Structure formats: structure tokens, C-alpha cells
Amino acid sequence: MGIVAKQFLSVKPSLTKAMTQRASILREQGRDIITLSQGEPDFPTPVSICEAGIEAIRAGNTRYTAVAGIEPLREAIIEKFSRDNDLNFSADQISVGCGAKQVLFNALMVSLNPGDEVIFPTPCWVSYPDMVHLAGGIPVPVSCPPNTGFKMTPDVLEAAVTNKTKWLMLNSPSNPTGAVYSRDELNALAVVLRKYPNVWVLSDDIYEKLVYGDVEFSTLAQVAPDLRDRILTVNGVSKAYAMTGWRVGYGAGPGQLIKAMNTLQGQTTSHTSSISQYAALEALKGAQDFIAAFQSTYQFRRDLVVDRLNRIEGMSCHRPDGAFYVFPDCSGLMNKQTPQGKLIKTDSDLTMYLLEEAGVATVPGSGFLASPFIRISYATSTTDIERACDRISSTCSLLK
């Protein structure tokens, strides 16, 4: 009998982090590796936000805070929801945690009884199945192929609901596909959800600010206010404000759920760093103009990477509406042979080949429960995107 508990043995480390780690090892060996596997903005945190963190230290705001988060930050979150999403919350309906990740995990931990099912459309973020599993629930991945824009349709949702369903997890814009649910698409899902009053919805809006062109962001609680009593809306500062390392995320929803999440957090991490909370306060309340600059840079890069990948024989890449990922279909590259005589049978084989031969780190679609795809993050410089696409193209052309 080892030291690690049974229920933990099946939990896998995040595949995204595994790829990034392998890339670092190769880099340490002197290889020139371009990392397109990372899910974080390449921009530095804006100076005004950093200054607010520094000022928090100077002002002595370095002690324990309220478990749910400092009051001014919760007030700023309430203002944000009202300004951006037409949603009204009170302070006891807000929980601030160590990133959206902890908020999602807290919600699942306090709500799932053994055997409760959690539906989520796939491709999905790598952490959902493991989080559900860890919280004692049963993950119910529901395949949503490219012909539905990788989105869940009402009939597919209805077919997945059982009397054990506790949550539907929605993520828009999506990691890894960049798919964005329109108001109408959310309304259509709401029609089904009205029939099943025991199903709650976890809306993971972490990429809210990263939508391109005329695309508008909508969230379920805004579109279907009558369902608000069973929706937890989760967001954070990581992606919009280039603050991944500060670890601030938040959830807003029914008081009873929030209270339980805060109790769990109080017994585990207590709260996220006081310094980060003051920086997040500046992010939400201060100037927002750099978000538009981030958006236009990402949009330019998205178009560049989509155009370049579509020129590669065997790859087919949709043009996503949001986030900073593309998720090209690589079926045309399967069952081909590398110059070393190795058969590319899976998207993991392909990402390994691209890493070892082209020096480009990407993530296999299998990590997001969809194959054969690869996920490419374009949260990196235009030069690196161009160099990486050149290398992917020439390495793929060697496959026979």
C-alpha cells in the first residue's frame, strides 16, 4: 500500500503543464523551442495593477483578509457584473479564491454527493474531468463536434441529463476551441434547463474579455434571469488582465452555495494573497483601455495562425470567435510515417513529433477529450507564431 490515497491515484497532472515541462527540459538542453502550449497571456501585467500590488505591501495590507475576499474587491466585482453583464449581486453572493480554478473546485467539492453527475461539452478544459472526479462526482463528457461549432446543442444536452445530473459546466469563450455561445444558443439551452429544476449551471466565463470582431459575449445568468437561483458565474483576472500568477478568481451565485464554498476555503487556503486582491481591485476599477489593445493583438494573431495552419496539407483549422487558442483538426496527418519510420497514430504522437522534430510545443486534443486535434495557443509574439508555423509546415511535409 503506497502513501497516495485511492481516489487520488486516477487524477492526472494537467497535460498542458506536462507539455510545457517537456519543452523546458529540451530548452535546458540547448534546443530552440517555441512554446505554443501555454494558456496564458504573453503580455506583462499592466503597470497600474502592479503598482497597486506594491502599494498594498507598502500600506501594510499583508495580513489575513476575510475568507470571501476584501470588501472593496467584492464591491468592485458586484460593480463589474452590473456594468458588463446586467447582473445584480450582494456581497454575500460573491466568493474570491485563488484563481477561477479554485472557485470552480470549491463549488464542485461542496455540492457533489457521491455518484452525482456533471455534464460538460467536449472538447473541454483539461481540468474539468479531474476536478469532478476529485470532488466525488462522475464526469459526463458530451462530444460536441466541429459541425456544431464545438458547442452543445439543446438536444444533445437533453439526451445527457439524468436524475443524477447535478451540474452542467459551460465555458464560453472556450478553452481549447475558442467557441463562443451566442445569446440565442444560450437561450436554447435555457429552454431545456427549465425542464430540469435539479440541474445547476457552472458558467466559466474566464475568457469573457477575449472575443473578436462583432462577436458579443453573453452569459447564461444574463440571458435567462429566471435560472439565476441555480447558476454560479465564475470569472477572474488571469486572462483579461494578464494576471495569471496573481491567482485571483471569483464566483457569484446563490448565497447558500457561496457560503459553503467560503467555509471550505476557510478550512483550506483561507483566501488568496491580500496583495493580489488589492491588485485585482485596481484591475477591475481602474482604466480598462489596455483590454482593447490586447484584443486587437490577439485577433491579428488568430487570423495569422488560422491562415497559416490552413495552408498545411492534412490540417484544417476553424476561425474561433474568442479566447487565444486554435484547435485544428489533424485527421489528414494520422497514419502517416515520420522520416524515422514512426507511425503517427494519435494526436499525442503528432505533438511529440512536432516537439522533438520542429521544436514547437503544442497540446494533444486527447487532453481536452477530442481527437485527432492539437491545441495551439497564440498568446505569444507574432514572430514566434510565424516561426512556429514555418516549422510545423515543413515538419508536416516530411510525413509520408
- Nearer Cβ to ligand PLP (137/249): 249
CA dihedral 82, 86, 87, 88 (to 10 degrees): 60
- Nearer Cβ to ligand PLP (169/358): 169
Least distance (Å) from ligand PLP to the CB of residue 243? Answer: 8
Under the rule (CB under 6 A), what is the footprint of ligand PLP?
A: 39, 99-101, 125, 171, 175, 204, 206, 236, 238, 244, 249
Least distance (Å) from ligand PLP to the CB of residue 257? Answer: 18
- Nearer Cβ to ligand PLP (165/175): 175
Whether 140 and 119 have beta carbons less than 8 Å apart is answered as yes
Least distance (Å) from ligand PLP to the CB of residue 62? Answer: 22
Least distance (Å) from ligand PLP to the CB of residue 246? Answer: 9
- Nearer Cβ to ligand PLP (129/359): 129
C-alpha distance from residue 207 to each of 171, 177, 234, 291 (Å):
8, 12, 10, 12
Least distance (Å) from ligand PLP to the CB of residue 332? Answer: 27
- Nearer Cβ to ligand PLP (176/359): 176
| Shortest-Cβ-distance residue relative to ligand PLP | 99
C-alpha distance from residue 264 to each of 44, 118, 259, 269, 312 (Å):
32, 20, 9, 9, 49
Q: Residue 101's closest CA among 204, 209, 170, 20?
A: 204
- Nearer Cβ to ligand PLP (193/210): 210
Q: Greatest CA span in the chain, whole angstroms?
A: 63
Q: 99 CB contacts (<8 Å, ≥6 apart)? A: 236, 238, 244, 247, 248, 249, 272
Least distance (Å) from ligand PLP to the CB of residue 33? Answer: 21
Q: 317 CB contacts (<8 Å, ≥6 apart)? A: 305, 306, 309, 310, 326, 327, 328, 329
- Nearer Cβ to ligand PLP (111/175): 175
Helix/strand/coil percentages in the chain, nearest 5: 45, 15, 40
Q: Around Cβ 153, how many Cβ atoms within 10 Å?
A: 17
Least distance (Å) from ligand PLP to the CB of residue 297? Answer: 19
